């Protein structure tokens, strides 16, 4: 699933680079942008989590929050794909 999100983010960057060809109001393009923003937030949190000594006592809570965000990203990705007629069956 993470690889799929990564591909989507890369596709989103490609669409942004070719903004003349992509409709910014298209639900798929909007979803890709949301995924890209959330991906950046996740990366920032993960970097702090891995590097910060001051977070040692909070690592369990941070880890749980990251897991929830990963699940939310997966749901956003599934919604984006459903918006263009692709249904993903995810193991829960």
Domains contained in the chain, number: 1
The verdict on residue 10 lying in a domain is yes
The verdict on residue 89 lying in a domain is no
pLDDT digits (tens, 9 = 90+) for 34-71: 888 888 888 888 887 778 887 788 888 878 988 998 89
The verdict on residue 91 lying in a domain is no
Which range of residues forms the domain containing residue 50?
Answer: 2-83
Higher pLDDT, 89 or 76: 76
The verdict on residue 92 lying in a domain is no
The verdict on residue 11 lying in a domain is yes
- SS3 string of the chain? CHHHHHHHHHHHHHHHHCCCCCCCCCHHHHHHHHHHHHHHHHHHHHHHHHHCHHHHHHHHHHHHHHHHHHHHHHHHHHHHHHHCCCCCCCCC
For Cα atoms 39, 19, 15, give the angle at the middle one, nearest 5 degrees: 40
pLDDT score, position 91: 64
């Amino acid at each position: 699933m993470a690889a799929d999100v990564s591909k989507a983010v890369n596709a989103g960057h490609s669409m942004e680079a070719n903004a003349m060809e992509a409709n910014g109001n298209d639900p798929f393009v909007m979803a890709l942008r949301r995924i890209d923003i959330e991906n950046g937030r996740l990366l920032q949190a993960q970097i702090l989590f891995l590097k910060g000594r001051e977070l040692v006592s909070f690592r369990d809570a941070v880890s749980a929050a990251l897991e929830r965000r990963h699940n939310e990203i997966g749901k956003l990705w599934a919604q984006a794909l459903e918006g263009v007629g692709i249904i993903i069956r995810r193991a829960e």
